Amino acid sequence: MRSLAAVFSTLMIFILSLFMASTAFAANCSNAPDMLDEILQRGKIRIGWINSKPFQYRNERGELEGAFVNAGNMLGEELLKVEVEWVEAKWDTFIAGLQSGKYDIVISNVARRPNRAVSAWFTKPIVIGSQTFLVRKDRNIKNLADIDQDGNNIIVRLGSAAHITYTENDPEFFKHATIRSLAPPALPEQEVASGRAIAMGAGSVETQQIARANSDWAEVVVLPESPRSVGAGFVMPQCQHNLLHYMNTFVDTLIETQFMTKQAELYPDIVLDSIVAPTTLIGDLSR
C-alpha cells in the first residue's frame, strides 16, 4: 500500500495543478476587454444570426425577420439604446466569427452543447426542443430499426445540433446507418424527398415546418430513444462576465414578459408547450 505521505503528496500536486489552471484562466480573462462597455461606447451592437425559420430568416422581400430578430432589435434599440447591425453567420462557423470579432453576440436558436461551450459562453436557455426525423410517408418509418440499417443515409445540416448529437455527443446512436452532413445552400429535405436519404435529423420546429409545407410526402417521426431536449441560448465570446450577466437578465426578461407567447401569434411555427424554456423566476415561486 502507498504510504500516507505519498498519498498526501499526490493530493497536494492535484490541488496545485487545479489552482494553477484556474489562475491561468483568470489571467486570460483579466486581459479581455469589457464588450458590454465597448458596445455602449460604440453606440452599436453587432448581432450574428443564422438562418432558421421562424427564429431568424429572410422573408420573400429579402427582409430579415423572426422571433429572435424581434428580440435582438428590442435588446439594442429599447434596452441598450444603441444601433443594431445584423451580420449573417453559419452553423459550422458562427463560433469562429465570434472569436474573430465579426460580431459581438449571436442571437439564434443555438443548442447549448458542451463541445461548443469550450469555445464560447451561452446564456441560460430561452427555448427548448427535441431531435426528430423527417421521413417519407411511403417508407412507413415507425421505429429506430426502420432507420438504422446498412446502406441508409441520414442527412443533417453541417454544424447543426443534430450533426453534433449524432457525430460527437452520441456517435454510437446509429450503429448501421451513415450520417451525412450538407452545408448551405443545399437543402437536406431534398435528399429525403428524392430517396437518397432515409431521414433528415433536425429539431422539432424545423422538421414540423418542412412536413407542413410538403404534406403530400413528408411526415415527422419522434423516436423514444432519441435525445429528448435541447436547450438553446444566445452566445458570446468567453471571458465576458458583464455581457453574460446582462444577457442572462435579458433572457429572464423575455420569459417574464411572455415575449415568446406574443411571438407565437406572429409565427405559428412556434409551439409554446414544446419549445419555450421552462425557466422559473424568483417571482414565480409564490404562485
Lowest pLDDT segment from 86-90, 116-120, 163-167, 189-193: 163-167
pLDDT band, very low/low/confident/very high, at 96 (cuts 50, 70, 90): very high
Percent of the chain scoring above 70 in pLDDT: 83
What does the angle CA 170 – CA 96 – CA 230 come to, to the nearest 5 degrees? 35
- Rounded to whole angstroms, the Cα distance separating 110 from 157 reads 13
Which residues, 6+ apart, have CB-to-CB distance to 60 below 8 Å? Answer: none
Question: 230 falls in which pLDDT band (50, 70, 90)?
Answer: low
Band the pLDDT of 190: cuts 50, 70, 90: very high
Mean local confidence (pLDDT), 267-271:
79
Radius of gyration of the chain (CA): 22
Q: 113 or 8: whose pLDDT is higher?
A: 113
Which residue is listed with cell 409565427? 267
Q: 251: which 3 cell numbers? A: 433572457
- Segment 249-271 shows an average pLDDT of 88
| pLDDT for position 27 | 45
Mean pLDDT within 20-40: 72
* Residue 282 pLDDT class (50, 70, 90 cuts): very low
Q: Which domains does the chain have, with CATH numbers?
A: 35-128+231-286 (3.40.190.10), 131-221 (3.40.190.10)
Give the mean pLDDT of 181-193.
91
Lowest mean pLDDT among 11-25, 151-165, 205-219: 11-25
**Can you tell me the mean pLDDT for 12-23?**
49
31 pLDDT band, cuts 50/70/90, is: confident
What global pTM score does this model have? Answer: 0.69
- Among 69-78, 222-231, 253-262, which stretch is predicted with the lowest mean pLDDT? 222-231
Q: At 151, phi and psi to the nearest 5?
A: 90, -15
User: Measuring CA to CA, how many Å separate 236 from each of 19, 33, 48, 136, 246?
Assistant: 26, 13, 10, 38, 11
- Percent of the chain surpassing pLDDT 90: 55
| pLDDT band for position 24 (cuts 50, 70, 90) | very low
Mean pLDDT throughout 52-77? 95
Determine how many CB atoms are found less than 10 A away from the CB of residue 75.
23
- Residue 27 burial (CB count, 10 A): 9
Q: How far apart are CA 162 and CA 164, in angstroms?
A: 5
